[in-house]
Amino acid sequence: MPEKIFLTPPVAFIVVLLVIASLSYLFSKLSFRDPKHGKDERKPYACGEDFDGSMIQPDYSQFFPFAFFFTILHVVALMITTVPAGVSGTLAMAVIYIISAVVGLFILLGK
């Protein structure tokens, strides 16, 4: 059992954390960055342009219905493909799930 102590989650987490921290420290010393940080380092970056606050802000009102549609369809696909074939009653549950997902999509996109 003592040889498997490094495979326990808390010990593995600490070991990986120490390795990543040491690599980060090592690579920060090897970087070509100026040690006296640049004057524009804390300014927001907007695709290479100076951000003055007057840029166009995107409207996500059309994105969210599409994102919900995408999520619902992928969850339905995941649920349907993981239904066991040999268990009785699973076909009925899968059909009820599909019907409820279709109703949800009609509500979402019906407006």
Q: Report the relative pairing of strands 49-50 and 45-46 from DSSP bridges.
A: antiparallel
Tens of pLDDT, residues 79-88:
888 877 777 7
Residue 45 pairs with which residues in a beta bridge?
50
What whole-number distance in Å separates Cα of residue 111 and Cα of residue 108?
Answer: 7
Q: What is the pLDDT of residues 94-104, one digit of tens each?
A: 888 889 888 88
- pTM of the predicted protein model: 0.42
Q: Which residue has the tokens 């493909």?
A: 81
89-94 contacts at long range (C-beta below 8 A, 24 or more positions apart): none
pLDDT, one tens digit per residue, over 62-74 is 788 788 888 888 9
At residue 39, the 3 state secondary structure works out as coil
Question: CA-CA distance, 28 to 32, in Å (whole number)?
Answer: 9
